[in-house]
Amino acid sequence: MFKVYRKEMDWAGRKLTLETGRIARQADGAVLATLGGTTVLCTVVGAKSAKPGQDFFPLTVNYQEKTYAAGKIPGGFFKREGRPTEKETLVSRLIDRPIRPLFADGYLCETQVVAHVLSHDLENDPDIVALVGCSAALTISGLPFLGPIGGARVGYKDGQFLLNPTAAEREASDLDLVVAGTREGVLMVESEAQQLSEQIMLDAVTFGHKGFQPVIDLIISLAESAAKEPRALPEPAYDKKALQAKLKSLIGAEVTAGYNETAKQARYALLDAAEAKALASIKTEEFTAEQVEEGVELLKYDHVRGMILDSGKRIDGRDTKTVRPIVSEVGILPRAHGSALFTRGETQALVVTTLGTGQDEQIIDALEGEYRENFMLHYNFPPYSVGETGRMGSPGRREIGHGKLAWRALRPVLPAKDKFPYTIRVVSEITESNGSSSQASVCGASLSMMDAGVPLTAPVAGIAMGLIKEDRGFAVLTDILGDEDHLGDMDFKVAGTEKGITALQMDIKITSITAEIMKIALEQAQAGRLHILGEMAKALNTARDGVNQNAPRITSFMVPKEKIREIIGTGGKVIREICETTGAKIDIDDDGTIKVAAVDQTAADAAINWIKGIVAEAEAGKVYVGKVVKVVDFGAFVNFLGSKDGLVHISEIKAQRIERVSDFLKVGDEVRVKCLGMDDRGKVKLSMKNIDQTTGEELQKAG
């Protein structure tokens, strides 16, 4: 019934298996990819024809994790998976970015790639398995995919690179880098690093590229046995060369004039007018409006690239290495714990930091298990930032991806949790955009956190590099504009400190780039990053002393673990009473660490003293101030140390004999008592006699 094709190899000490023909046979391509005990089903389906009038390539990549893959049942009321998690969104982008440039020009059929995690051994991350499996599924599908590609994860520890490190090895690694590409070169890089040098990062990319070459060979071997017949591409719908000649003659001068205008909105107005002229002048029976618009885009593409390669002059008048003017401001929002406005050219980010307690940590239910995250960075890109109208709603894939990139860039410089016990939430609101708003978010977030008093080990800046590559040469561009990203061949984002790189992300729109180009890009990025750090330092170059006055102050101290139950109380009664009475927030760790947070120090002190009273042990011979809580015939019970009560026996109230306790004490009286120790039943014995009830001093006993 099944005609199964199966290829396998040893890859970094684990078995990698690619199988097709047994599952999902109605898809154009389906591969079951397994590395160790992690298995991902990868499928590809492409529509048989493009929709009429369609002028773009509708590619969708969906990576899905099901909890059964790790032997778990979903949490929540419905007990089934819901909307994509952040990781699912990020891995979907991770697969999309290297495969998108490799579809043949002219292929516009709707295509869907799905990676479905079936099993997770908790050692081998499914993202690399999914990337490899999707490449294999595309290669055997018959779709016009100019692959295959390979991918690998690279770690770095003690001067050695690690290929596809396990989960435990990743925890101890100074680098977490994912690289994907073809046999010829690199297409995509995503990484987080502990301030590593440019050379180490370049060597890591090279190491990863070399490490996945056997995977490409394995995919080719599978395709030689199981690939479907390739689909024929449709014939061109019109004569592109003839249209380009007409457009160049008609609006070539207007396009040149548009790109001589350095201001974005003014430039767009001139270019829009040129396009309108072309649409009005070229007969629609020969060329449709969509074809004319596509032709105008190609004309702009050729003009900008030629201008940069021939003269070194860019759209806004800069040379290839100059960073746009920068203005950094901090403390601009009076009630925020920390705030910054970072403006670079026509890109601007308003970044706000909020400090919270352990109760504000994000609880993440992942396949690997539940964990808590105390650092969050959220990126928002409203349509007004580019002068447009648009839908306002939940964050899309791009916003999640840009926020995660900035998060990776800043996490390596955060203080240790035991040194700075706050939950940190940073929100970047992009208020203007013309190139690299994610890196503006990195710069603004660094300033905003330092403004809030977060003691970063070093400020972090980010910069985006671009590339124009033609047969006659190439140019690497520092601090690219939005148009240069759109019309160029590379988007290479580098973030880091003066010491080294903390995050790197690269996407290539051509088939690959060389190590020489990457080296030049990293060198230019380093110079640009150092310049930006210098501009940021004009506003703030280190964290403020202490947290902002509007932020809660957190005091940490330890109590014996056996006392935690007393602090919490039955059903949380005691700790709830402390919080409600004092207004403080209290977090208790299993090891006995107590964190008390309050904006008002008086409230914090009250809660701290309350807790310390609960856990304190009575010391024999020490005098305490207490309150009578109960009067009985044989004495009085006095609350004298937190929630602790002790008995003042009738014989210990006065030096002389008394008949009735009630003649001397009543409930609510404040008294000074001396601890005599414990009785046989472990109850505290107290004494009032020979204690001055005004001063608390011990009186001389009568001789």
Which residue in 220, 191, 179 sits closest to 515, CA to CA? Answer: 179
* Residue pointed to by tokens 């047994």: 22
**256-277 pLDDT per residue, tens:** 888 888 888 888 899 999 988 8
What's the token pair of residue 31?
Answer: 């591969």
Pair 642, 665 in one domain: yes
Neighbouring CB atoms inside 10 A of 703's CB total 3
Contact 327, 321 (CB under 8 A): no
> Locate tokens 């109605």: which residue?
26
405 and 266 in a common domain: no
3-state secondary structure 159-181: CEEEECCCHHHHHHCCEEEEEEE
Point out the domain boundary residue: 276, 311, 346: 311
CATH number of the CATH domain containing 681: 2.40.50.140
Apex 350 CA angle, 192 and 403, nearest 5: 30
CATH assignment at residue 579: 3.30.1370.10
Q: Is residue 95 part of a domain?
A: yes
CATH code at position 406? 3.30.230.70
525 & 567 share domain: no
Pairing verdict, β 501-508 and 186-196 = antiparallel
Q: Find out whether 199 and 193 touch, Cβ atoms under 8 Å.
A: no
Residues 214, 220, 223, 224, CA torsion sign? negative
Domain count along the chain = 5
Using CA atoms in the order 599, 603, 604, 607, what is the torsion angle rounded to 10 degrees?
Answer: -150
Range of the domain at 297: 240-311
Predicted pLDDT of residue 703: 43
Q: Are residues 221 and 266 in the same domain?
A: no
Residue 259, token pair as written in the block: 């790109």
- For the CA atoms of 402, 408, 410, 416, the dihedral, rounded to the nearest 10 degrees, stands at 140
State both tokens at 169: 């090895």
Nearest-angstrom CA–CA distance, 240 and 413: 51
Sign of CA dihedral 105, 106, 109, 110: positive
- Identify whether 658 is part of a domain: yes
Instruction: Look at residue 182 and give its three-state secondary structure.
Output: coil
Cα within 13 Å of Cα(618), Cβ side = 28
Q: Is 8 helix (H, G, I), strand (E, B) or coil?
A: strand
Considering the domain architecture, whether residues 106 and 173 belong to the same structural domain is answered as: yes
H or E stretch including 205?
Answer: helix 198-211
β-bridge partners, 350: 341, 429
Residue for token pair 């660490």: 593
pLDDT value for 700 = 67
What's the per-residue H, E or C state across 445-489? HHHHHHHHCCCCCCCCEEEEEEEEEECCEEEEEECCCHHHHHHCC
> For the chain, which residues score pLDDT lower than 70?
283-285, 700-703
Contacts of 413 (CB under 8 A, 6+ apart): 195, 446, 456, 457, 458, 459, 460, 497, 502
Say if CB 508 and CB 102 are below 8 A apart. no
Both 272 and 358 in one domain: the answer is no
| Statement: the pTM of the whole predicted model exceeds 0.95 | no
Task: Enumerate long-range contacts of 322-325, CB under 8 Å, 24 or more apart.
Answer: 322/478, 322/479, 323/463, 323/478, 323/479, 323/528, 323/531, 323/532, 324/479
pLDDT score for 701: 60
Please calculate the CA angle 114-118-121 and round it to the nearest 5 degrees: 130
Q: Are 91 and 211 in the same domain?
A: yes
320 in a structural domain:
no
Contact (Cβ atoms closer than 8 angstroms) between residue 192 and residue 505: no
3-state SS, residue 335: coil
Does residue 699 lie in a domain region?
no
Cα–Cα distance measured from residue 33 to residue 6, given in angstroms and rounded to the nearest whole number: 10
Q: Which of 565, 613, 506 is nearest to 204 (CA)?
A: 506
Tokens matching residue 293: 């618009």
156 with 248, same domain?
A: no
The answer to whether residue 456 sits within a structural domain is yes
| Same domain assignment for residues 561 and 444 | no
Q: Name the 3-class secondary structure at 279.
A: helix
> 232 exposed, middle or buried (CB, 10 Å; 0-12, 13-18, 19+)?
exposed
Tell me: do 12 and 105 sit in the same domain.
Answer: yes
Residues 6+ apart with CB under 8 A from 457: 413, 414, 415, 497
Residue 546 lies in a domain: no
Given a contact cutoff of 8 angstroms between Cβ atoms, the answer to whether 443 and 343 are in contact is: no
DSSP codes of every residue in 596-634: EEESSHHHHHHHHHHHHHHH----TT-EEEEEEEEEETT
Three-class HEC string of 544-594: CCCCCCCCCEEEEEECCHHHHHHHHCHHHHHHHHHHHHHCCEEEECCCCEE
Shared domain for 644 and 507, answered yes or no, is no
Tokens of 669: 């009286």
Is residue 667 assigned to a domain? yes
Do the beta carbons of residue 56 and residue 107 sit within 8 Å? no
Peptide bond into 230 cis (omega under 30): no
pLDDT single digits (tens) 370-393: 889 999 999 999 999 988 998 888
Please name which of 4, 47, 48 lies closest in space to residue 24, comparing C-alpha atoms.
4
Shared domain check, 653 and 578:
no
Residue 692 within a domain: no
Best CA proximity match to 495, nearest among 522, 515, 534? 522
Q: Give CA–CA dist 429/381, Å, rounded.
A: 7
